[in-house]
Every structure is written in structure tokens, then in C-alpha cells.
Chains A and B, each alone.
Chain A
Amino acid sequence: MSMIDSLLAGLSLVSNVYAFLALFGGIIIGVIGGAIPGMSATMAVALTLPFTFALQPITGILLLLGVYKGGIFGGSIPAILIKTPGTPASSATILDGYPLAEKGEAGRALGMALWASCTADLISNLALILFAGWLASFALSFGPPEFFALILFSLTIIAGVSGDSLLRGALSALMGLLLATIGLDLVYGTNRFTFGSPNMMGGLNFIAVLIGLFAIPEIIAMVWNPTAHIGKTRKLGKNWVTFEDYKNSFKSIVRGSFIGVFLGSIPGIGAAPSAFLSYSEARRKSPNKKNFGKGEIEGVAAAEAGNNGVAGATLIPLLALGVPGDVITAIILGAFMIHGLQPGPMMFVLNVDIIYGLFIGLIVSSIFLFLVGSVAIRGFKYVADVPKRILIPGVLVLCIFGVFAVNNNIFDVGVMFAMGWLGYFMMRNSIPAAPFLIAFILGPLLEDNFRQSMLMSGTDFTILFRGPITWFFWAATIITIIAIVRSTIAGRVKTTPQ
């Protein structure tokens, strides 16, 4: 079958109202679900799954994809408005989105988040359609040694989100690494810092840590000084994002999209590291470096481009190899299987009409996302007008419900509170929270892949340098570290009057 035939076959599959309705409805569910902290895109997708059983395969899968894409964008809404990421992928959006909201420019930040999300989404979908086969075979060449090198490189992002002191950033990252060791050991199954508690054996829940670290310190800070916000304008603001903003951030958006496509096509990394990497790259390249973290619109654009760039690309290993890249794609894989479809190389031969139907649906989804997102921003803007001392207890209650719902476990609410006090301590001592979070995500991956490499080779370290991919990331890591050290020393010479 030629490409044209496949396209036509795909078109005939999706050319009914229901497929598009499902996609549109999915995006609405996703945006709302993503906007509720703790609900997250993952849970929204899991909840929608049973409804797809009765639908046509293509309609059902488009519904789930809609929820996924909507959810990733929806997460940025509470991240910007109340400093609580609705979905882990949007934690990088907080860094500049919340300061913008504090300055009374929430509308501008939300608008930019939407524009960047849709652009990145489109690029990601195009990458899926054009390079799926190629990127999938590339993803398969990632074994533990390659992952180790990639993650080591990704940890250099920490320098980009450390703010004004690299040392405090490093300390924050080390605390993240340390807390991530709680749980059962991967290789031997023994206890590490679990104190015999079955709740601790599973490790600290990521979302509980995330919300605890960002949202709860805001609450405690308000308790410390209940009137600090008075006199500051904190409204959605008349300011809307302008085409000028978009043009200025366009390079960062495209760069972030490609970072997202790259990390998304490799199973197991996920959207949050991609958003942080995109953010720190944007900061590194920007002339307004100093303003990042204090309300720079380009930071919001980069972070959102980074996480939405992942959304289309995670389908690459899913469709081409049958390998899910994260929990959400694992659920979508379940939906394929329930309909008797088996993603993998053969699907491109046997069910090529479904593949092309999905491609067409995905392209349309970027446009739908823009429409739904614009409406959602207008709907949620009233949050910014709620008196802060009513909003804060509301956020507390919302976080309690949301964090419980993630894993149906009251213990996680306790983890969130404890993390809140740690986060507040860090806030008071100007220790940035973002490095902690990145280390908490990447630390276990780094350790696991290191030990898996050692198991593979019988503790022969040369396996960590076994091929061009590892060499590339080792080189990139060394170059980045040299650049960081040089700029730190240069900065010190400037500030030290000796």
C-alpha cells in the first residue's frame, strides 16, 4: 500500500464525527484533570480507560490521547496560579510562571504556556509521523550504560536551576538524592531507611514530595507572615501574551520541543526532566539570564515546550516497538491490547489504517488543544482573584485530597506535610527547590542503571564507555561541567574585591 492509500484509509477511519468528538472531549477531560493537583494526567487517563472498552479502537485511543495531551497542558494552570504543579511535568513551569502570577501577569504566563504547548505538541506529532521508525531503532540502542551517561548529563541541568549559588543548588540536589534512596534496594531487595514501615518500603511518593516541596511552603510562609502579600497586585491582569513575546521565545520553544522529542522517544525518562532540561538550556542561551526564576516569560515557554514535546514522541516507542515509555503510555498500551491490537513493527503492516488514523487525529489534536486551552484559561482566571487568605486554606485542602488520591494512601499526606517543612526551611535559607526535585527523579535512575551496567559486565567499568552514544554523553557532560566551573570562577572574580 502506498503512502497515499494509507492516508486515505486512515482518513476514512477518523472521518466520522465520533472520532473527533472523542478527541475533543478527551482534551477537555485532560485539561480539567491536569488542572487539579494530584489528579494529574496519569489518573485522568486511567479513569477514562474503561469508557474506551465500548468504543471503536481508533475512537477510544484518540479519546485517551486527547486526555493525555490536555492533561500535560492543564498541569501548567495550577503551577502558574497557585504554585502547585497539576502534573509532575509542569513543575518546571512554576519556576517562572508563579513569579509572573505574583507580578500580576498570570494571564500572560498562561497564554504563553498554551502557545508554547501547542507549538511543541505540533512539532512532537510531526516528529512521530516522520521519524517514528528511525527514532525507535535509536531508542532500542539505549541499554543501561547509555542511560547512565544520559542521566549523568541530565544532572548537569541542576546548575541551570540553582539560582545564584551553585553550592546551595548542589546541597539541594544531594538532599534529593538522599531521600530517593528510601525504599527497597533494586538488586538485593533489602531495606534502606525504611524503619520497617511497609509504607516506606515503596519509597516516598513522587507527587507527594513534589506538592510538598512547592505548594506547602507557600502555605507555611503565609502563616509566618499573613500580610506579606498585601499591596502587591495579584490579578490575572490585563496583560495578554503578545505575538512579540511568542516571537522572542520562539527559538526556545523549538529547542524545547526537540529536547522533548528526543527524551520522549527514549522510554523511561518522562516529561519532567525534559521540561527542566529545556528550561535550563533556554536560560543558558538567553540574554536575560538574570531574570530567569524571577518571572521571565521565556522560561515558561521553554518549560512548557519541553514537556509537551514529549507527548507525541512517547508514542514512538509505543507504536513502533510496543514499549511504553511511562505510566500513561502503559495505560494506552492496555487500551490497544483490549481492542486486540498489538503495537509493534507488525502493526505498521497489519493495521496501517489505524496508524494513519492516529496520525491524522494527533495533528488535529494540537488545534483542539489550542481551542480548549484558550477557554480553560478564561475559566480558571478567577482563581487569581480569590483573596489569598481564603485561597491558601483551599490549596491545603485540595492538596490533601489530591495527594491521597494519587496512591490511595494517607501516609502520602504525611509525606507531603513533612516535605512542606523541609521546603519551607529551604525557602528561608535560599536553597532552590528545583535541584532537589530533579535529583529525586533522576537519582534512582542513575543508581539503577549504574548497577545494571555493573551486573551486565561483571563490574567491569569499561562498559560505561561501550559505544558512540555513551561517548557523546560523556563528552557533553565534561564540556558542560567545564563551562559551569569557568563561569563560576569568572563570576567570583567579578564579585570578589581582592
Chain B
Amino acid sequence: MKMKLLGALGTMALALTASTAYAEYPERPINMVIPYGAGGATDISARTIAEPLGTAVGKPLVMSNVTGAGGATGSVVVQNAKPDGYTMLFARVGSHSVSPAMKDTLPYTLDDFRFVTVYEINPVACAVSPSSGINSMDELIAKVNEGGVSYSSSGVGSLLHLAGAMVLNEYGVEDPLTAATHIPQKGGGEAATAVLNGTATFICTNTSALASFVANGQLKPILVTTAEPVAGFDAPTSADEGKPALEKLVGWTGIAGPADLPDDVAAKWGEWMGQAAGDQNFVDQMTKRGSVINVMTPEDANTFIQEQYESFRALVDELGMRIKG
């Protein structure tokens, strides 16, 4: 801290007079916007990669949490920022594939951003309270058909909201929106608590959000949406259950800039991400929390997000979940 301060003061005179025209990107700290609050999944992921990434970039990364409206407030800051590569966004599945697929009211579309990478994939799991007496998806579906089943989410347009409806739809529940009640909560932590205290019957969310509850025996996992099993989650995978369509249902974190981000800046980010993700410490910390590290090139990231968005959008239209007005 002290070093940083001294260094900063020392370069003050230089920076004030230095010409900016021919300098190479980056020549000053980069502002990284996190559109969710401190302590959340995106925040922890962003701050974990910030360390190796900062080393790769060679300039400080300034982390700014801009929260509100399910990630929309922070995303708009980057949408409207100058496309000079000094304002970048940690985009998340909720803000950049579920919300655009679901909300007509969203102040941005996917076309307003240029993705430079997706670096982390989070499997999704569904869980119930052990006291509910439900032990498998089939038992849950049977209960849904009886009525009175509900699921919690961290808000309208979140991954959890879509996941609950998508899973029920895949298991052949007709009109999942009325068969099961969606009870939105104010955040991911509250959503898990709602299942703990019996407010909602089940929850489908990232395994990292459920890991400690599952380890403590407070929640019982009944489905993992990846084809591969997830450590610590003793539940059938989508492959076991024969539902390959559910593999689209994963969380991810990526980095994006405004739509007009120049090519050379995007290429730089590709380079840096390659270096940062090689950091063993980073990989260990992320995998410990149940994430899969998989650094995508800008092109791959765009295809990946576009595909997920299309499939979510089709589902939203099929179920009539679109939010207008």
C-alpha cells in the first residue's frame, strides 16, 4: 500500500506532463466494473482473477462494484463508456444471457458489448431441504404434479429464475410457470435460505453457492446439470438422467468491453487472460469453490454466449416468461 502510494506520488509529475497520443495500451490503471455486490459469486471470482491478471496487465486493475437492477446498472456504465479499453466489465450469466433473453425492458442488448473472454464455468445443481422428504428429481416432479411446490431465486431475470422453470420443463411438467410457484428473493444467499427454512421447496443455482450447505447436510442435491459429476455433490448428472439439453444451463463469468472496443485491445486481453489463467494459485482457489477454469478466446466466448442466449430465448418464448413494459 505504502509502496503504491509513494510510487503514485513519484510518477505524478511525470504523468501530468506525459503525452498520451502514442502511448501503448494500457498506460494507466484499468477500471473493472463488477455489476454485483461485494461478497457475491461474481465479486469473489473477479477479485480472485484480479491478482494474476493485474500482474499480466502490468498496470493496476481498479475494481468497482456498481450494483443494482440485477446487474443492469453496472452493465450500462460499461455500455456507455468510451471504448478505449479502460473501462471493462465482469459479465455474468444473469446479466448477459438470462436477463437479455427474458427482459424487453433491459436498457442494453448483447450487441452493445464485445466479449474478450469467458474464463470460468460454474455447474448448476438443484437442491431440496432434507426435511422435505424428496430424494430425487422424479419425486420432485411427482410433488409438482400434486401442486404446492415452489422454487426460490435471486430475483426476476436471474439464472436461478430461469433454471427452475427450465428444469421442470425438461422433465415434462406442463406449464411449469403455474405448476410451481416462483418465489423471488433479494439475493443468492436469501434464495438458499428460503429453501433452508421451508419458504420454497427447491432451488437450482451454481454449485458454489450450495457447496457449504450440501457439505453441512443442510440441503440435499438432487440434480447436477453438467455431464460430468461435481465433487461433493452426490447427485445424478444431466447425462445420467438423459437430459443433454440441461448442459446449456451453466453459470459463467467473462470480461467484456463496449461494442466498439478496438481489435488490438481485445487481442491484448486474450493474451493476458492466457497468462493469468496459468497461475496455479488462481486455478486452485477457483476449483476449490467448484468452478471449472476454461479460458475462451474472444471468438469462442461470443459463440458460447450467443448459443446460450438463443436457447434461453427460445425457452422464454415457449413458456411465455418474457417481461414487457
Name the contact of A409 in the complex, choosing from B73, B190, B196, B197 (C-beta under 8 A).
B73
CB contacts (< 8 Å) of B212 on chain A: these are: 322, 337, 342-344
CB contacts (< 8 Å) of B77 on chain A: these are: 408-409
Nearest CB on A from B269, distance (A): 21
CA separation between A42 and B43, bound complex, in Å?
Answer: 14
**With an 8 A cutoff between CB atoms, is A481 at the interface?**
no
CB contacts (< 8 Å) of A189 on chain B: these are: 102-103, 105, 155-157, 323
**With an 8 A cutoff between CB atoms, is B15 at the interface?**
no
Nearest CB on A from B41, distance (A): 10
The proximity string for A residues 289-329 relative to B, scoring 1 for CB distances below 8 Å and 0 otherwise, is: 00000000000000000000000000000000111100100
CA separation between A294 and B102, bound complex, in Å?
Answer: 52
CB contacts (< 8 Å) of A331 on chain B: these are: 38-39
Which of chain A's residues 176-223 have a Cβ closer than 8 Å to chain B?
183-191, 196, 198-199, 201-203, 205
CB contacts (< 8 Å) of B198 on chain A: these are: 143
**With an 8 A cutoff between CB atoms, is A407 at the interface?**
yes
Q: How many residues belonging to B are interface residues under a CB distance threshold of 8 Å?
A: 56
Please name the residue on chain A nearest to B99 by beta carbon.
A189
Looking at chain A, what size class is its interface with the partner chain?
35 or more
CB contacts (< 8 Å) of B40 on chain A: these are: 330
Nearest CB on A from B207, distance (A): 13
A187 close to B156 (CB less than 8 A): yes
B107 close to A196 (CB less than 8 A): yes
A190 close to B105 (CB less than 8 A): yes
Which of chain B's residues 287-325 have a Cβ closer than 8 Å to chain A?
288-289, 323, 325
A144 close to B39 (CB less than 8 A): no
Knowing A199-B73, A202-B73, A321-B196, the reply to whether A334 touches B66 (Cβ < 8 A) is no
A330 close to B38 (CB less than 8 A): yes
Please name the residue on chain B nearest to A146 by beta carbon.
B197
A324 close to B199 (CB less than 8 A): no
CA separation between A141 and B155, bound complex, in Å?
Answer: 22
CB contacts (< 8 Å) of A46 on chain B: these are: 38-39, 65
CB contacts (< 8 Å) of B157 on chain A: these are: 189
CB contacts (< 8 Å) of B169 on chain A: these are: none
CB contacts (< 8 Å) of A240 on chain B: these are: none
CB contacts (< 8 Å) of B215 on chain A: these are: 342, 344, 346
CB contacts (< 8 Å) of A321 on chain B: these are: 193, 196, 218
Name the contact of B211 in the complex, choosing from A267, A342, A347, A456 (C-beta under 8 A).
A342
Nearest CB on B from A101, distance (A): 32
Nearest CB on A from B215, distance (A): 5
**With an 8 A cutoff between CB atoms, is B213 at the interface?**
yes
CA separation between A338 and B43, bound complex, in Å?
Answer: 13
CB contacts (< 8 Å) of B64 on chain A: these are: 408
The proximity string for A residues 135-149 relative to B, scoring 1 for CB distances below 8 Å and 0 otherwise, is: 000001111100000
Which of chain A's residues 100-154 have a Cβ closer than 8 Å to chain B?
140-144
B67 close to A334 (CB less than 8 A): no
B189 close to A324 (CB less than 8 A): yes
Which of chain B's residues 57-83 have a Cβ closer than 8 Å to chain A?
64-70, 72-73, 76-77
Complex A-B: 27 CB contacts under 8 Å: A140-B196, A141-B197, A143-B194, A143-B199, A189-B105, A190-B323, A198-B108, A199-B73, A199-B76, A201-B72, A203-B68, A322-B212, A322-B213, A323-B192, A324-B39, A327-B39, A330-B40, A330-B189, A334-B43, A337-B289, A338-B285, A342-B216, A344-B213, A344-B215, A344-B216, A407-B65, A408-B65
Since A327-B38, A408-B77 are in contact, a sample of 12 more A-B pairs with Cβ atoms closer than 8 Å, ordered by chain A residue number, is A46-B38, A143-B197, A184-B70, A186-B155, A189-B102, A189-B155, A202-B68, A202-B69, A203-B69, A327-B37, A333-B189, A455-B183
Q: Which 8 A-B pairs have the closest CB atoms?
A: A202-B68, A189-B156, A344-B216, A330-B39, A342-B212, A201-B69, A408-B64, A198-B76
Question: A residues near B, CB below 8 A?
Answer: 42, 46, 49-50, 140-144, 183-191, 196, 198-199, 201-203, 205, 267-268, 321-324, 327, 330-331, 333-334, 337-338, 340, 342-347, 407-409, 448, 452, 455-456, 458
